[in-house]
């Protein structure tokens, strides 16, 4: 897979036809382990999705609402323009988007033994109406599965089909974790300006996450010892990048996906900032 760079503004303009119904989304990077896509709207839905990996959200334009099932009750999480949010694994969630909005979502490829869940609840309750367990190889698989639900007896009657809901679930839902709140990326950058220029990098999210999401500041940066696939977004300034002895320049608001196994270095001058996303399975 060849190394690919994109200018985000240009890419969004070229693909704007995908960010309205009925599609509302477009993958930027899909051939590797990281699935990086942008989502538009409107998109109001009642289905909930659960997976064994984490999801990263960043709203570029407008606000969205993420409905989650947290600690035995539903919660509305509003992710405003310019805010980022990290969704832990094994938490049912349902994204709600309005027209004229654009958001970035990053999730990872599923391991062969991992299972996803599509779920519907009985209206106005947290009682489960319908579930479909599946191994997700392609994010486009959700569409046909949702159509399958609308043709089901559960949808027609509003009652679960006896014996259709597994007692021993393939995924153990996380009922205990308290989710964090979205926050402004720019305010976070301003607050940690000194650390990023003195120490060179900082985790974007506090708490227990498998994903390695950092903002890279001044200095030279190298991959972790497992040489993971890495998504880069130049937030401020520019960076000089060398990948397997080939030189590149990443300008503000450009992205790059570095393949797993690649040896690379990223050099930032003072004030330059690069978002780095790694999402390996456990």
pLDDT tens for 165-197 read 999 999 999 999 999 999 999 999 999 999 999
pLDDT mean for each 10 residues of the chain (282 residues): 87 96 92 95 94 98 98 98 98 97 98 96 98 92 93 98 96 97 99 98 95 98 96 98 96 97 97 97 75
Q: What is the pTM of this model?
A: 0.96
Q: Is 273 annotated as a binding residue?
A: no
Cα separation, 275 vs 233, in Å, equals: 5
Q: Is 192 annotated as a binding residue?
A: no
Cα separation, 94 vs 110, in Å, equals: 19
What does the pLDDT look like over 218-252, one tens digit per residue?
999 999 999 999 999 999 999 999 999 999 999 99
Q: Is 263 annotated as a binding residue?
A: no
Q: Is 49 annotated as a binding residue?
A: yes
Between the alpha carbon of residue 28 and those of residues 8, 35, 81, 179, 218, the distances in Å are: 9, 8, 20, 27, 27
**In terms of Cα–Cα distance, which of 124, 125, 123, 119 is closest to 164?**
119
Query: 18 — phi, psi (to 5°)?
Result: -85, -10
Q: Is 176 annotated as a binding residue?
A: no
């Amino acid at each position: 897979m060849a190394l690919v760079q994109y200018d985000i503004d240009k890419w969004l303009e070229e693909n704007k036809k995908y960010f309205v119904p009925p599609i509302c989304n477009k993958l930027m990077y899909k051939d590797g382990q990281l699935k990086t896509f942008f989502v538009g709207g409107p998109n109001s839905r009642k289905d909930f999705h659960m997976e064994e990996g984490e999801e990263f959200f960043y709203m570029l334009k407008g606000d969205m609402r993420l409905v989650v099932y947290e600690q035995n009750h539903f919660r509305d999480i509003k992710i405003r323009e310019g805010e980022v949010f990290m969704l832990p694994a094994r938490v049912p969630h349902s994204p709600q988007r309005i027209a004229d909005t654009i958001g970035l979502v990053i999730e990872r490829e599923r391991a062969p033994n991992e299972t996803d869940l599509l779920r519907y609840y009985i209206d106005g309750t947290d009682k489960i109406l319908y579930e479909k367990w599946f191994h997700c190889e392609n994010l486009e698989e959700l569409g046909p599965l949702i159509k399958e639900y609308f043709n089901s007896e559960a949808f027609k009657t509003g009652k679960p089909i006896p014996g259709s809901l597994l007692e021993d679930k393939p995924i153990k839902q996380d009922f205990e974790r308290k989710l964090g709140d979205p926050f402004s990326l720019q305010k976070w950058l301003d607050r940690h300006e000194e650390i990023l220029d003195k120490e060179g990098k900082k985790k974007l999210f506090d708490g227990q996450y498998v994903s390695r999401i950092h903002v890279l500041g001044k200095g030279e940066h190298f991959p972790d010892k497992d040489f993971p696939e890495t998504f880069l977004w130049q937030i401020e300034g520019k960076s000089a990048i060398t990948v397997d002895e080939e030189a590149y320049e990443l300008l503000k608001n450009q992205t790059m996906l570095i393949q797993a196994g690649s040896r690379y270095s990223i050099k930032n001058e003072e004030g330059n900032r690069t978002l780095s996303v790694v999402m390996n399975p456990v």
